[in-house]
Amino acid sequence: MRLCADTLKQKTKEYTGDDTDRLGAFKAAAALQHTTPERALAGMLAKHIVSLYDMCFDNSADYGMSTWDEKITDSLNYLFLLKAIVKEGHSNQPD
């Protein structure tokens, strides 16, 4: 969990620029794709899941722990960000 938090903190500037909305990149991607932020994020997450899947079933390679850490951490972080998007969407709904 510490690695996930550190990665999110480290990549904040890279993915949000000066935008204070940490979810802004997903909202922008959603607007470009004429879809929801959840679906835009799911598309980005799919790339990471496919990569992990390929690693799991690759009998010809021995991936180092740093590669596993990166792929798993990125996947977990996308799930944490999805949770934030869903939570934000529910908090903006009228009762």
Q: How much is the average pLDDT of 6-27?
A: 83
How many distinct structural domains can be found in the chain? 1
In terms of residues, how long is the chain?
Answer: 95
Structure confidence at residue 94 as a pLDDT band (50, 70, 90): low
Does some domain include residue 80? yes
Does some domain include residue 19? no
Q: How much is the average pLDDT of 16-20?
A: 76
> d(Cα 28, Cα 33) in Å, to the nearest integer?
9
Does some domain include residue 69? yes
> d(Cα 78, Cα 95) in Å, to the nearest integer?
28
Is pLDDT of 58 > 90? Answer: yes
Q: pLDDT value at position 93?
A: 66
Is pLDDT of 2 > 80? Answer: yes
Does some domain include residue 1? yes
Tokens of 11: 């990549």
Nearest alpha carbon to residue 29 among 38, 17, 20: 38
In whole numbers, what is the pLDDT of the chain averaged over residues?
91
CB contact set of 88 (below 8 Å; sequence gap of 6+) = 23
Segments forming the whole domain that contains residue 70: 1-11+38-90
Does some domain include residue 23? no
